[in-house]
Chains A and B, each alone.
Chain A
Amino acid sequence: GAGVSQSPSNKVTEKGKDVELRCDPISGHTALYWYRQSLGQGLEFLIYFQGNSAPDKSGLPSDRFSAERTGGSVSTLTIQRTQQEDSAVYLCASSLQTSGGIYEQYFGPGTRLTVT
């Protein structure tokens, strides 16, 4: 079956512009995660959604970052007034379920964001 997909694969934007990054999780996966990998840095958690529960936003670096998940499926990560330090690869992952069990996370190919 289809894996996690993300779009666009690459995005170049000017400083100060808003961007939207999209993630399509694996069908049936109730948990969805956003991570960021900055150049020369490790991966860091941004936000996760689990079913209809309130999302865990504890990893979002500033209030310029927000995310939503519509209909329990597709998710959009929005970065407002982009800054150069936002340049990174943004990765989405999904898993079958997290409550009451431990399930493997499957990663998308990522969106490489470059802020000029």
Chain B
Amino acid sequence: KNEVEQSPQNLTAQEGEFITINCSYSVGISALHWLQQHPGGGIVSLFMLSSGKKKHGRLIATINIQEKHSSLHITASHPRDSAVYICAALYNTDKLIFGTGTRLQVFP
């Protein structure tokens, strides 16, 4: 069964803290997406990766294929980073299987 698990479900942080959100998946995937959803907002794709590491501004995503694990890191977190972060695995069927999301709140 294709499954995607995320942790933690909820995360609070003080502005400036380093944040890590974890995602694990059950079987081999083609790629993994990290998505961001602001309250009442749409979904924005942050990264799509199938190996290694990607960086965009203060966001870093890594994936370890052998361990079937990916992490999203936010450096120097800011209140505007408050959102739900969702990892989604792309399996052979070309459709995304989503994790349950991590609700992040960053306080000033």
A interface, CB within 8 angstroms of B? 31, 33, 35, 42-45, 48, 50, 56, 58-59, 91, 98, 102, 104-110
Contact = CB atoms under 8 A, between A and B. Distances in A.
A107 B42 contact: yes
A44 B33 CA distance: 14
Interface stretch (B11-19, B43-51, B68-76): B43-51
Contact of A56 (B95, B96, B101): B95
Contacts, number: 52
A104 B45 CA distance: 8
B66 interface: no
Contact of B96 (A50, A105, A108, A110): A105
A98 B94 contact: yes
Contacts of B100: 42
A56 B93 contact: yes
A107 B93 CA distance: 19
B25 interface: no
A57 to B, nearest CB: 11
B95 A33 contact: yes
Of A50, A105, A107, A108, chain B has the most CB atoms within 10 Å of the CB of: A105
Given A45-B96, A102-B90, A107-B45, 5 more contacts: A33-B96, A43-B96, A102-B31, A107-B35, A107-B44
A104 B95 contact: no
8 contacts: A42-B98, A42-B100, A45-B95, A45-B96, A56-B94, A105-B96, A109-B41, A109-B42
Interface string B74-98: 0000000000001010100111111
B64 interface: no
A48 B95 contact: yes
List of 5 A-B pairs having minimum Cβ-Cβ separation, nearest first: A109-B42, A107-B43, A43-B98, A98-B94, A104-B48
A43 B86 contact: yes
Of B45, B88, B94, chain A has the most CB atoms within 10 Å of the CB of: B94
Contacts of B33: 104-105
